Chain A
Amino acid sequence: MLSFKHANKSIDLIEEFLTIIDQGSLIFKDGVKNYLQGKRENFDDNIKTLSNLSSDADIKKREIENILYTQSLMPQLRGDILKLLEELNNIIDLAKSNLFEFDVEVPLIPSELNQDLLKLTELSVFAIDSLIPASRAYFRDPISVKEQLHRVYLYEKEADKLALSIKRKVFQEMTQLKLSEKIHLRYFTLHIEILSDVAEKAADLLSIMAIKRTL
């Protein structure tokens, strides 16, 4: 009966962990938006919230690991599950460090790029948002995982395309910018775009895990 108690606790923790990742992605989007619109106070608030969420996610992940290992729950699946949680945790860590980089390096972003960067952020966040229900589905209905994952791949591809067009615009059309500023902008475009790449990596892992479970 003790294993049911631990099972319930770990289910709750996983749910909370996924919610944190979901919230983290939304805060990241809001943070980039506030930075682009020059709302410094709101941006600082976003950084603080995201830092808290990231450390919460770390704590939850460690608790889940602890229960799964000490209670020998799901010996065949736990390796995969913990790897998935690690990938998801990476996403929120990356989002947090990206916002910190905005805060520290204060990149000069020409206003004509605001819309594009905002859209890139949205696409990356959509990719993460689509990953969360797919992750939830893995635990209850692995067959439906594949149906949900195609969105992640779609958003990742769109984000890649948009990032490329931003970089092209920066280097070929914005002649008024110094090379250092162009390189700085490329660097920040990459920072936002990489979130969708990490989401794609997690989606790959999730789709293999789902196949394993449906066999």
Chain B
Amino acid sequence: MLYIIIIISSGLFLGWLLGSKDTANLFGTSVSSKRMNFQKASVIAGIFIVLGAIFQGKGTTSTIHSLGNIYEPVIAFTVVLCAAIIVLVLVKVKLPVSTSQAIVGAILGWSLFTYNSINITIASKILLAWILAPVLGIIIGALLFIGMRWFIKKSNIHVIKLDAYLRFSLIIVIAFAAFGLGANNIGNVIGVFSEYAPDVIVNFGLFTINGLQVLFLLGGISIAGGLFYYSRRSLHDTDEGVFSLIPETAIIVHLTLGIVLFIFSSSFMSNLIETIGMPSIPLVPVSSTQIILGAILGIGLVKGTWEIDSKTIAGIGLSWITTPLSAGLLTYMVLAIFRKTFGFPLENKPEAVVETLKSSGHSSIINLVVPGIIILGAVILLVFAYLIFRQQKLRLKIEKDMLIQQNQLYMSQKAMNDLEVRTIAMENDNLNVKLQAKRKEFMDIALNINEQKNFLEKISNGIDDAILMSDHDERIQKLKDLSVMLKQRMSFSKEKKEFYMQIEDVHKDFHMKLKTTFPNLTDLEKRLAGLIRLDLSTKEMASLLNISAKSVEIARYRLKKKLNLDKNSNLKNFINNI
């Protein structure tokens, strides 16, 4: 078995390249548009590729095997390796390449080198299938698109519901296309080695697989491996695989791919068509990229748009020549080196070369029922554990988010409370200041009343004394003193002083500016400026300043001069603007 695995390793490598190169076409759009996550898509595609390979890979494998029956295992390994190298190089230099064309080219190179006759019937079948695949892609893609457009229009389905259906359909369509890809392209991977299939039957309980199907299983796994390894990178590089498609179109394209691959790999369908008298369908590995291209062209024809640039088509057309030619040439050269060095491959097929590889007797049976059940149970347990773990993780995440939200809410509430407290404190301060002012006012009033009372008592006592005085001169003197006291009182000097102090306090900024800008102003002029700012009349100002109205006018004139204002300037406006 190990010997067989070593021989088919080049095929597995080719399968791995095939997986990495082609499967982005399977779910590129779905993953990049976030309709499906990569893991989900690749697990579905991987499983169905393997299933397709095992259960429907026989047809294409037999065609590739019939094209060139390479009887020397080492040469078979080399031929497939040459095809794989060509695929790898062309993928690296970003040229379109088909694995089918590479493997057919390599086999033809071997046939030419060993003078083995090329099976023209098979070769023409392959060529026909290569031409038919994109053509069928165009036709089926166009028909499916017309059908889908008609259905969407007629059903009047809500766009959100349509999206949900599309998501669901995408899973099925991707699975179907993956099945087709596995069934069709396994021929490229295993076709050359089908001769070396071990003579065993493996029993899985529900089904059994033979030796060739074991090889298909390995080939399928290699394609799925390539899909997991490379597709992720490819999806990140190009975002949407080879083509960028809207979901409706993606469904059609994937479905077309699945149908065409199924047509070219299903022996049942081929036989069915043959029974109704039509020519049988050639079961040949075809290029998935070319089918997709055909489907997109078909959809474009219906829409009346050309969605693919001619450079891409020209590149693919050119690859029809370059890929088989380069694979054939490389194989021819490598085989020439082999013959020079080791003396083989031989020109004529030796008898029983292959027989040495095969067991002589009947098939050995490997029973995998019990290990299968154990593995299945373990997988179910793992999935179950994973689901519980994920649920727990989600729960924790939700709880964490809620805590963060609550914390944010608490912080904002705290900030608002702080703000409120600060506002209240400020209001309290203001009220305190007002309270103090009021208290002072009341104190002043009380003191004032007291003082007035004392003064009036003093005057009253003086008058009483004057009445009682017998000497006329003394009485007159007393009355004169009282009159002077009253006049002094009437000047309100103390009240005025307080009044000016209050004005200065209220218009602090104004008085400060006046003082700093015009330092040579006298106290009277400063007071006058303050009164002008209060918009008092000349008469009122005269009374407050204890001067006549005329003197106020003169003082205004002087102030104007000191403030450097000309005759026409308005003193009041100037003072108000300070």
A interface residues with partner B (beta carbon < 8 Å): 3-4, 6-8, 10-11, 14, 72-77, 138-141, 143, 213, 215
Contact status B160-A10, CB under 8 Å: yes
Contact status A139-B33, CB under 8 Å: no
- 14 further contact pairs, Cβ within 8 A, besides A4-B168, A11-B160: A3-B164, A4-B161, A4-B164, A7-B161, A7-B163, A7-B164, A14-B160, A73-B160, A74-B159, A75-B34, A76-B246, A140-B156, A213-B159, A215-B303
Could you say which of A7, A8, A14, A75 contacts B35, with CB atoms under 8 Å apart?
A75
Alpha-carbon separation in the docked complex, A135 to B303 (Å)? 25
Contacts of B167 in A (CB 8 A): 3
Q: List 29 A-B contacts (CB under 8 A).
A: A3-B167, A4-B161, A4-B164, A6-B164, A7-B158, A7-B163, A7-B164, A8-B161, A10-B160, A11-B158, A72-B34, A73-B160, A73-B163, A74-B160, A74-B163, A75-B33, A75-B34, A75-B35, A76-B247, A77-B163, A139-B158, A139-B159, A140-B156, A140-B157, A140-B159, A141-B156, A143-B153, A213-B159, A215-B303
Interface of chain A, main secondary structure: helix
> How many residues belonging to B are interface residues under a CB distance threshold of 8 Å?
17
Contacts of B158 in A (CB 8 A): 7, 11, 139-140
Q: Give a binary string over B131-167; 1 marks a CB under 8 Å from any A CB, 0 the rest.
A: 0000000000000000000000100111111011001
Minimum Cβ distance to chain A for residue B145 (Å): 13
Interface positions of B from 267 to 311, Cβ below 8 Å from A: 303
Contacts of B157 in A (CB 8 A): 140
Alpha-carbon separation in the docked complex, A8 to B162 (Å)? 11
Interface of chain B, main secondary structure: helix
Contacts of A4 in B (CB 8 A): 161, 164, 168
Alpha-carbon separation in the docked complex, A72 to B37 (Å)? 11
Alpha-carbon separation in the docked complex, A72 to B168 (Å)? 14
Given the contacts A11-B158, A140-B157, A140-B159, A73 and B164 also touching, CB distance less than 8 Å: yes
Alpha-carbon separation in the docked complex, A10 to B158 (Å)? 11
Alpha-carbon separation in the docked complex, A72 to B35 (Å)? 7
**Chain A residue with Cβ nearest B164:** A7
Minimum Cβ distance to chain B for residue A122 (Å): 31
Going nearest first, the 3 A-B pairs with the smallest beta carbon separation are A7-B164, A74-B163, A140-B156
Alpha-carbon separation in the docked complex, A183 to B198 (Å)? 96
Minimum Cβ distance to chain A for residue B559 (Å): 39
Give the one of B33, B160, B168 with max A CB within 10 A.
B160
Minimum Cβ distance to chain A for residue B37 (Å): 9
Contacts of B164 in A (CB 8 A): 3-4, 6-7, 73
Contacts of A139 in B (CB 8 A): 158-160
Minimum Cβ distance to chain B for residue A174 (Å): 37
Alpha-carbon separation in the docked complex, A21 to B168 (Å)? 33
Interface positions of B from 156 to 196, Cβ below 8 Å from A: 156-161, 163-164, 167-168
Contacts of B34 in A (CB 8 A): 72, 75
Minimum Cβ distance to chain B for residue A146 (Å): 15
Contacts of A7 in B (CB 8 A): 158, 160-161, 163-164
Minimum Cβ distance to chain A for residue B138 (Å): 20
Alpha-carbon separation in the docked complex, A6 to B247 (Å)? 19
Alpha-carbon separation in the docked complex, A6 to B161 (Å)? 9
Contact status B161-A11, CB under 8 Å: yes
Contacts of B161 in A (CB 8 A): 4, 7-8, 11
Alpha-carbon separation in the docked complex, A72 to B32 (Å)? 12
Alpha-carbon separation in the docked complex, A8 to B303 (Å)? 30
Minimum Cβ distance to chain B for residue A80 (Å): 10
Alpha-carbon separation in the docked complex, A140 to B156 (Å)? 5
Contacts of A138 in B (CB 8 A): 159
Contacts of A73 in B (CB 8 A): 160, 163-164
Contacts of A76 in B (CB 8 A): 33, 246-247
**Chain A residue with Cβ nearest B159:** A139
Contacts of A72 in B (CB 8 A): 34-35
Minimum Cβ distance to chain A for residue B149 (Å): 10
**Chain B residue with Cβ nearest A138:** B159
Minimum Cβ distance to chain B for residue A210 (Å): 11
Alpha-carbon separation in the docked complex, A3 to B35 (Å)? 11
Alpha-carbon separation in the docked complex, A74 to B168 (Å)? 13
Contacts of B168 in A (CB 8 A): 3-4
Alpha-carbon separation in the docked complex, A143 to B33 (Å)? 25
**Chain B residue with Cβ nearest A67:** B160
Contacts of A3 in B (CB 8 A): 164, 167-168
Minimum Cβ distance to chain A for residue B96 (Å): 27
Alpha-carbon separation in the docked complex, A161 to B509 (Å)? 55
Minimum Cβ distance to chain B for residue A10 (Å): 5
Minimum Cβ distance to chain A for residue B301 (Å): 15
**Chain B residue with Cβ nearest A10:** B160
Alpha-carbon separation in the docked complex, A213 to B162 (Å)? 12
Alpha-carbon separation in the docked complex, A6 to B160 (Å)? 9
Alpha-carbon separation in the docked complex, A142 to B160 (Å)? 13
